[in-house]
Amino acid sequence: SQQGEEDPQALSIQEGENATMNCSYKTSINNLQWYRQNSGRGLVHLILIRSNEREKHSGRLRVTLDTSKKSSSLLITASRAADTASYFCATDLRATDSWGKLQFGAGTQVVVTP
Amino acid sequence: KAGVTQTPRYLIKTRGQQVTLSCSPISGHRSVSWYQQTPGQGLQFLFEYFSETQRNKGNFPGRFSGRQFSNSRSEMNVSTLELGDSALYLCASSMTGEANEKLFFGSGTQLSVL
């Protein structure tokens, strides 16, 4: 079963608009990460936010984390056609057997049209 | 620094055969994780290796196995292939595999079982 669930499943926007996607998870975490995947390729790490952080920025990306609601959001500002990809949130578990193991959500497919 | 390299990029096999996939991590990374990605199940954790030892394992049958060599390169093997094993297999590396590390993914091996 998946730890994270993204919402929406798909998002279509025009260049210059902002894209917001949400992730909910079920159990306590150490960190939450966001990854991007271009079609049929590997995942690329975007940002990591720790459980004691509430907001983090990286370039055009803004991530928030609300541990009381077990949810996170990823905002991409001023989107570009190159941002077209699937976006996944991933959580680790507060467990001793979490070596190398992230639990990924189902992903949000974002299409940015010129 | 070279990224994570997975070979081969594509594989076509028939049911009952076995397959070996290879992964070379980023130089200096000692943790290698494997994930299976399918449209229906999403990204599922297979196992993680560190210093030639499997430290963590997902919920996959014994037909899925792996190993890691002294140079941190890793292989995974799937025996007695089933149609449901068709998937994108992703390898990821990190320095130590700890929960606060980001994962660096390869481009994956697309396996088709006919």
Predicted local distance difference test score (pLDDT) of residue B2: 86
Relative to beta strand A31-37, strand A43-50 is: antiparallel
Question: Could B32 and A100 be called an inter-chain contact, meaning their C-beta atoms sit closer than 8 Å?
Answer: yes
Tell which B residues from 17 to 56 touch A, by Cβ distance under 8 Å.
31-33, 35, 42-43, 45, 48-50, 55-56
Best B7, B102, B110 residue to mutate vs chain A (most A CBs within 10 Å): B102
Q: Is the pLDDT of residue A101 over 90?
A: no
> What CA–CA distance (Å, rounded) separates B93 from B95?
7
Best B9, B103, B107, B111 residue to mutate vs chain A (most A CBs within 10 Å): B103
Q: Where are the beta strands (DSSP E) in B1-114?
A: 5-7, 10-13, 19-24, 31-38, 42-50, 53-57, 64-68, 74-78, 87-94, 104-105, 109-113
Question: Which regions of chain B are under pLDDT 70?
Answer: none
- The arithmetic mean of pLDDT across residues A25-41, rounded, is 91
